[in-house]
Structure 1
Amino acid sequence: MSYIHNRPAKYVPAGYQPLEPVPRSSPMPVKTLSETQQQTAEFECNIQIYCTADELSSLQTGFWSLKRTQNEKTVINWQHAQTSHGLTTLTALCVEQEEKKLLHERFQYAGFAKEFDIHPQPKGRGHINAVFLPVKLAVQQEDMLGWPTTGYFYYFVDHKLYQEFKLTGEDRWSFYLTGSDANTLTDELASEHHSSSLLLPFKIEGKTMTGQFILYRKQKLSRDEFSKLSQSWLEEHATPLDLKSIIASRTQAFMARDITTHHACSDQKSAYYKVKMDPDSRQRESWPEIAQKHGLSAKQLLDLNPAYNDNPLRLQIGDTLCVSAPRSSSVHKRQDIPSPLSEFETGKAYPFGNVWGTFRQRYIMPGLLHIQPDSKVPLRAPIVNAGLLSKV
């Protein structure tokens, strides 16, 4: 404990008595910063996101904070936990049980945050304050989905413009976030960074966020069109989002794929193998180990299973591999193998694992890429059909 006195002692040159006695007051204790006790955080706010903890980064779910109040500073620390159903819960601790502003930023410190009113609850109660759904956006051309590389996506909540995204072009299907919202139409970008995922608010304090639409346009909305945005305009021109379909897509079974027409597996004697756990290492078998069992090189085995070309490390215990040995007489020129799905509904979502196909050409048509295997996209990521390209 440190102390201070009310007034300093008064001195004269050495060898003399003080001119007057110096009264001493009772010492006043001063608490140092290290001695200041922190208040106990007895409340919490919980966010639930429909993806696994490992998918948070690849689905670019953004950054969260609780806005500063008169009683409590900004809260930026969140604990991560994964539920038994493969969902992620983010938890922030609070000292005060007061209404909080939950802030979501797609890009940290970009200055374009969305606000949601939430109410902290006592720790351990398990109350979920907000629920969000990460998705990726595609458009339909005839009987397949594709990634658009040019144009704009418009996302509406409560029948009002929530966010505008400008596709980056240059053979990429990612997009920039602009500063447009329900009150403003602007070309200003929120950040020079770009992403390929959209985070949908689903429930805030138990209330479902309704009036959600998505609109794909090859050209930016004009100011005249922007001034006419309304519920009736959206119902005529935009695609209503089926939120239940988006949730259900996370648990859809992966469909069987027809690989009998691809490369050496066109041989009628094609064989398949289920990946096992190595009893010594307790890890999955490696590509060389599996290949050796079937008289193949690791490269030949990978060529027979093109779904893993982008990231062979994605192989897991229980996956099924084609292991037919290639023969010179049966090796054919690579063929297009579309996704096992051929019927799509606008506004609905489908897991990426049921949407990708393998194609010789990158493009379905100018400005629209084939959806091919991509290790950066989780297999269970919901791919939303934003609309028919023929109606754009």
Structure 2
Amino acid sequence: MIIGVPKEIKNNENRVALTPGGAKELIKRGHQVYVQSTAGIGSGFSDDEYKAVGVNLLPTIEETYAIAEMIMKVKEPIEAEYPLIKENQLLFTYFHFASYEPLTMAMIEQKSICLAYETVEKVDRSLPLLIPMSEVAGRMATQEGAKFLEKPMGGRGILLGGVPGVKPAKVIVIGGGIVGTQATKIAAGMGADVTIMDIDLYRLRQLDDIMPANVKTMVSSEHNIREEIKDADMVVGAVLIPGAKAPHLITKDMLSTMRKGAVLVDVAVDQGGCFETTKPTTHAEPVFEVDGVMHYCVANMPGAVPYTSTLALTNATLPYAIQLADKGWEKACRDNEELKKGLNIISGDVVYKAVADAFGLEYKDIEETLLANA
């Protein structure tokens, strides 16, 4: 198979979809890998490192899309890339379709094959290609929130861990999954007073067993959220419904009850955000203020630590990329239920129900669609 890796062109996105080591594994199996020149620079990988393992370098993004049967990316294509995508071309990347209708409609129109990292799902319902970036984003959420609590950054001017004689900051984490757990670990490690909330009592029991004494668990409900955020210094939104739009757990009217200079960090922004006032921001302009409350809603948070993120992502995606390249996407998805669940759009047909429901689109049964493409 011919695999293309274009340079990411989203604002301040420095990750790359494939490391030189990952490219070497595909080349060893007889596949051709084309990487756009300088695509790996932001992650610390030079063109020479790619050439050394047999990668073909291409000067432009247009040439990279034009030659490839499978495009491997990190972030969803942006508007400038839509016309470059070919009919029946396989795109293997994060899409988060349910949060952005123009992208969904563009991929339908281009009749591409869209296999989304974030909906590849194991039998135990874990999301193996979302986990590494969730781990990075969860840890960064606390790190970034702590920075924007500083007065020069617009925050309350409070140190997360406090000092002897002064109380630490109060941190609320909504969601006890991968992101929430990692955010809680870092906040607890920095000495904050942390409450982690979830609707799953079994998960709360697990967290209660493994977290240090400065972490409390609480059932997530509208009443509890309203009460807890009143004196919170930082709230991390870490709620995920795979493939679907995130629910709004903090509404605009709640902001007036919060402390001025408190910080909301919405890690669910890729899925539409779990705060009503969320809107996507960038690393160049990461925050905005609503009713005196700072909002950090960067849609590609792990892009700020691209070396770590790129290695973690390639570790997770490479085994699946090898299957897609070795067998072709149709056979790979028939043979592997995990990959099959990653299919969102097939040649203009929406085959992931949460995406169809998000925009009132016709949903096509994936088994029938795969059979039609056999």
TM range (shorter): under 0.3
Structure with bigger gyration radius: 1
The structure richer in helix per residue is: 2
**Higher RCO (CA 8 Å, separation ≥ 6 residues):** 2
The structure richer in strand per residue is: 1
